[in-house]
Structure 1
Amino acid sequence: MKEFLIETFAHHRTLIVFLHVISAVTWVGGMIAIRFATHQSLAMITDPKLRLERAAHTLKRLFTIVTPFVIILIVTAVIMAVGLGFRAAALDASGNVIDAYAMSLYNTVHIKEAIWLIMAVNLGAMMFRRNKAEKALQQGDIETAKASLGLIAKYMVPVNIVLGVIAIYIGVFLRGAYA
């Protein structure tokens, strides 16, 4: 499997990096647009039920759009991590550190991967809460829907935005580490 990932990256480097970057930009950019543009517009709707319905629908559309990009992001991250040889540059066959700088980069790759995985878990939790809100709205339970969607808007999306920006910065740092 390792050889396949290395060969795949070697032959499709530009495409893999492009897919990784466009996936990160779409995911993080979509959350920024939802939180700082759409959220403000939805707040102007005076009917609470309609506002919550529009918010739930908007989040459903966002999640539908970003889910394939999240999968692409994680797959390309694994291909790049193996294909760029971070582990091979840092450790010998016995697992001994052969280069301290390469080891720090290898650890940084793991930090970046952990951030994206935390974001993916948070996205799954947001999807769950959004579905819960939609069911509550269908049952006429506006307070439950408001609580579910409010948590997404106030905390979950902002956390993913911050983590996403950090992960993108780390990616730029890692790209520059071999320049």
Structure 2
Amino acid sequence: MQIQNVLMRSLVVVGIFASVIWTITDAEKSNSCCKLVSRAEVTDPIIGFSTQEADHPCVKAVIFKTEKGEFCSDWTQKWVLKKICQFLSAQRKKIAEERVIEHLTSPTPTTSITDAALVGRSTQELTQGSTQELTQGSTQELTQGSTQELTQGSTQELTQKMYS
């Protein structure tokens, strides 16, 4: 009889403990989502963003990440898509510029010069001319081409995702 009472009390304690843990977990889940959104434009520099689908109590939103924190924004506002496009464009431009710099600073392969017209020029003259031409041409082509292509694709994908 005494053993049964001890087992019943232990079972009740375990049940209460499990209930508390589930309640805490649910509270953490609901605190980590946007329940309300703002229509006010985010003016702080954006360092990232994510989208959130509606799943009660969470609402559909775009979450902008800034140095000051996260802001839950109304995804239907026109400025939201504009901010996303600006952020993605800046990211792509930064990546394209890093690729150009990496390309230009990588060691150039050694080759033998057999053309009589080039033999008279010094290696320094040849290297400077080539580097300047590559820098001017490649930087413009890469940043303009990559940014335009990638921005158009991402804008279409984001628009479809947000309005679906």
Q: TM-score, normalised by structure 2?
A: 0.35
More helix by share: 1
User: Based on CA coordinates, which of the two structures has the bigger radius of gyration?
Assistant: 2
